[in-house]
Structure 1
Amino acid sequence: MGGTALSGALWLGLLWAGSGAGGSCQGKCCQGRDAACVGEGWREGGGYGTCYCDGGCRRAGDCCHDHGQACPAIPCVVGEWSHWSGCAEQCQPGLRIRRRYVQQEPKNGGEPCPALEEKAGCLEYLTYQGEDCGHEHVPAFITTSEYGKERKRRAASSLWPLDKEAAGYCVEFRTESLSQQCALETRPYARWMRYLREGHTVCVACQPLAMSTATQRCSGDGHNAHGDKILHWEAIGNSQCQGTWKKIRQLEHCSCPLVHSFIFT
């Protein structure tokens, strides 16, 4: 057989180990197909014959009876998401990012790792130098109210002026129209767009960090607009998700369901 063939003694040892010795492949499992991890014994699904105890045995249907104990599938484990980053660019619609990291790599055919990075739309009306730039945008740019939690964390940063503490307010709108791209959105961080519906009442909060320093209002909030005036909005993170609405009223606090609650960005 030449130098590359298994010696007779080794081969007999493998046959003996796989024939019911209990642990024919203990300590030898691998993710590929390993000729050194082959023997004969009772297969996992019944029957006696050649079997492997490695990552390929389940696909081939030839697992040794002890494969589950000797080579268990270990799924990927990831950590918690980081906080969202700030906008990539100030004063124009952009992206924010959050990440998580692998704590345990998958082994032996275990569940693969999920996405480790997510991006979402954002817009800040304040430069890092504290200059207001909200007047540059006419439509109401909106995002999920969940982003408001991250914005409050950033407010504590020294990069933001401390005089932006004016009380916020809420505006109720009735959605008149929206593009079909909103309902087609499938990205995890943008699924909130799918809850936008024609004829529904939505609440949009104006938070201090989105206010103009001059007017103490959020751009696109429909201030002084009559109830029959058509106003425009756009979803941050998907410029094709946009539409129109009419202002109903302004309140001190929002009280809409979470899926119909948004913030001016």
Structure 2
Amino acid sequence: MSPGGLWALLVLLLARRGEGSCQSAGLCCPGRDLSCVTQGWRLDRSYGECFCDQACVSTLDCCHDYDVACPAVPCVVSEWSHWSGCAEPCRATVRVRQRTILQDAQNGARPCPALLENAGCAEYNDQERQCRQTLVPALITTGGYGNARKKREVLDSGDIAGYCVEFQLTSMTEGCQRSVGSHTRWMQYLREGHYVCVECQPPALGAGQTHCSGDGENATEDGHVSLQWQAVGNPRCRGLWKRVRRQDSCACPSVHSFLFI
């Protein structure tokens, strides 16, 4: 008989006689408990103090009958709840669902799985086909670029009247403050909570168009829907803002004046 077979036979005999076992001592303890101990054969085939607490599975000093006296009890969780929905309609954020523990894992069983799960909201909302416009990020650049536009006489498609939209910045990435190039230095003036003006003019406002892409014109609740923006020249500079109002002309300081692209 192989050494492994002999050991299995010895364990069986010891278990039947109840010598130095968790069963004979009436022990089966959760967690780590140094008082949950007796004398007997251990699973590593040595004799001495052996434990009947859950930690013995990791420390390898369990009594030989630990698995029989303290069988692993698997974790049981409930079904997933319904998705909570999106915190703000038409905002690229997250929706949440959760579940609860019906029976906790015991005696070295695998720990319970995650009880909270997140998923994106953009695709979730877009199933209703109500948010396609608001999910398009507004591309912006410094207002000084408008002078270059006029110099190139891009207004060759007729007298298209532009307009200005005022936004409040609600969140932005750290990448905006790391814009050190001469053409991206304007991004350093962006601050959460500040109000900015963004002008919609040709060619961003083409012939036959009524508004610039991403300006929130189709948002159903002005001031309550978070819209996305992206700075041109630095893909790491982006964030969210809320539309305040539309104006015929911009009245913000030059450092807070921008253009739709």
Which TM-score band applies after superposition, normalised by the shorter structure?
Answer: 0.3 to 0.5
Q: TM-score, normalised by structure 2?
A: 0.46
Rg bigger for which structure? 2
Q: TM-score, normalised by structure 1?
A: 0.45
